[in-house]
């Protein structure tokens, strides 16, 4: 069988190259190879290297990989337990999807506590990888983003409340889902293993919805949570000044993360590489300089440094006022929630962002922008 004829290094190299064909792919380098050797057994790497680009039945995977169905049953079960594949029951059969690096097995690796993996080593390797040449561009560089910022709803002006659509409201997304799951914050969990975690919550904080939530619960990455509990998490994280980030789709969203600029890989990409890793929300803060006292609380709360305090009269501290960097601001509303004088408020952006209809449309857009659509023609 073909999967037994390749040398071990060739198998893992082929896996890396297969991961690189995804819409949000992977930069193949030495650090990635070290990660793959830790996470994948050799048969798993061989299966992954020839995995169909689209979700497939076990029969289709057998045709593509050369593994028998009986062999695949064993290996795919192990891979699903590790988050290397996602399995979805559908119409009496199971479809399998090879998990990408992001959003995929990076997140799954740190969603839970396990002694089966060298977590500290993986935390360091993932951190190194995210900072290597071309990686941030690969993850976040497409025009269509994986992530969309969700504004603090209580600060949306009353006169436009009726115009705000479901994909702009985290609370409505949660209610429409009928419930979901909660898991560890994978970014802060990773940072904890590196001794760099902040004081924000790690356990029971990342929200998943829909089919993604069902997979995570079934495979032990998350625990079930009802609508009321998910709304309480939303409220709590907002009180802590965290940024709400969801997947950049209109229908059937899969997750809502509650992020900090120090641990979150998405926000850190903005801070460290200058790459806009999220699609900004459809609101932007505007300071009322008649009310603003220039105290700087809004600037301190901003996770990406999008607010600066400027003396409008040089040398006169009383003339200090807050100014929003419109090209950098992601429209989260964290600054508004901290202003005691209520001197900063939301206004609608001039151009309204309408996300892709669903994840399939989102990934196809990213693939087209990266000239990878041909990878999906099989």
Indicate which CATH number applies to the domain containing 65: 1.10.10.10
**Total count of domains within the chain:** 3
Question: In terms of domains, do 258 and 332 share one?
Answer: no
| Residue 332: alpha-carbon gap to chain centroid | 16
Spatial distance between the Cα atoms of 34 and 87, rounded to a whole number of angstroms: 25
Buried-state track 86-112, b at ≥16 Cβ within 10 A, e below 16:
bbeeeeeeebbbbbbbbbbbbbbbbbb
What percentage of the chain exceeds 90 in pLDDT?
94
Q: What tokens were used for 186?
A: 């994978």
pLDDT higher than threshold 60 for residue 13: yes
Question: In terms of domains, do 268 and 175 share one?
Answer: yes
Question: In terms of domains, do 164 and 252 share one?
Answer: yes
Q: Where does a domain end: 82, 99, 116?
A: 99
Predicted confidence band of residue 4 (pLDDT cuts 50, 70, 90): very low
Average of per-residue pLDDT across 150-168: 92
Instruction: Look at 300 and 165; give whichever has higher pLDDT.
Output: 300
| Domain containing residue 208 | 137-281+354-368
| Residue 252: alpha-carbon gap to chain centroid | 15
Please return the burial class of 252, using the count of CB atoms within 10 Å of its CB with bins 0-12, 13-18 and 19+. Answer: middle
pLDDT higher than threshold 90 for residue 95: yes
Structure confidence by residue, pLDDT tens digits, 266-309: 999 999 999 999 999 999 999 999 999 999 999 999 999 999 99
Question: In terms of domains, do 243 and 339 share one?
Answer: no
Question: In terms of domains, do 206 and 317 share one?
Answer: no
| Residue 303: alpha-carbon gap to chain centroid | 16
Predicted confidence band of residue 2 (pLDDT cuts 50, 70, 90): very low
What pLDDT, on the 0 to 100 scale, is given for residue 6?
Answer: 63
Question: In terms of domains, do 85 and 8 share one?
Answer: yes
CB 279 within 8 A of CB 147: yes
Q: Is residue 315 part of a domain?
A: yes
Q: Is residue 378 part of a domain?
A: no
């Amino acid at each position: 069988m073909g999967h037994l004829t390749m040398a071990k290094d060739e198998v893992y190299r082929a896996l890396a190259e297969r991961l690189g064909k995804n819409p949000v792919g992977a930069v193949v380098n030495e650090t990635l190879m070290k990660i793959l050797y830790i996470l994948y057994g050799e048969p798993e790497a061989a299966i992954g290297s020839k995995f169909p680009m689209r979700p497939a039945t076990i029969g289709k995977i057998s045709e593509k990989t050369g593994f028998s169905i009986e062999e695949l049953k064993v290996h795919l079960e192990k891979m699903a337990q590790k988050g290397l594949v996602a399995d979805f029951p559908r119409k009496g059969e199971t479809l399998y999807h090879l998990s990408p690096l992001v959003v995929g097995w990076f997140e799954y690796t740190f969603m839970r506590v396990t002694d089966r993996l060298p977590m500290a080593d993986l935390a360091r390797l993932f951190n190194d990888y995210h900072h290597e040449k071309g990686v941030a561009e690969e993850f976040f560089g497409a025009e269509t983003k994986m992530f969309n910022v969700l504004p603090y709803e209580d600060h949306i002006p009353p006169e436009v409340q009726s115009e705000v659509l479901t994909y702009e409201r985290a609370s409505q997304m949660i209610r429409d889902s009928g419930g979901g799951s909660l898991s560890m914050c994978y970014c802060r969990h990773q940072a904890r293993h590196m001794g760099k975690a902040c004081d924000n919550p790690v356990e029971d904080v990342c929200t998943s919805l829909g089919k993604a939530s069902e997979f995570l619960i079934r495979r032990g990455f998350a625990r079930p949570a009802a609508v009321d509990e998910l709304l309480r998490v939303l409220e709590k994280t907002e009180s802590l000044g965290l940024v709400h980030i969801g997947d950049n789709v209109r229908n059937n969203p899969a997750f809502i993360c509650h992020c900090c600029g120090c641990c979150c890989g998405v926000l850190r990409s903005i801070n460290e590489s200058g790459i806009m890793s999220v699609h900004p929300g459809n609101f932007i803060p505007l300071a009322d300089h008649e009310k603003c006292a220039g105290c700087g609380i809004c600037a301190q709360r901003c996770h990406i440094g999008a607010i600066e305090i400027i003396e409008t009269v040089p040398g006169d501290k009383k003339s200090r006022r807050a100014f929003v960097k419109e090209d950098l601001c992601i429209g989260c509303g964290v600054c508004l929630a901290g202003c005691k004088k209520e001197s900063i408020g939301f206004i609608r952006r001039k151009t309204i962002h309408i996300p892709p209809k669903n994840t399939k449309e989102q990934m196809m857009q990213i693939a087209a922008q990266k000239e990878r659509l041909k990878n999906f023609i099989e």
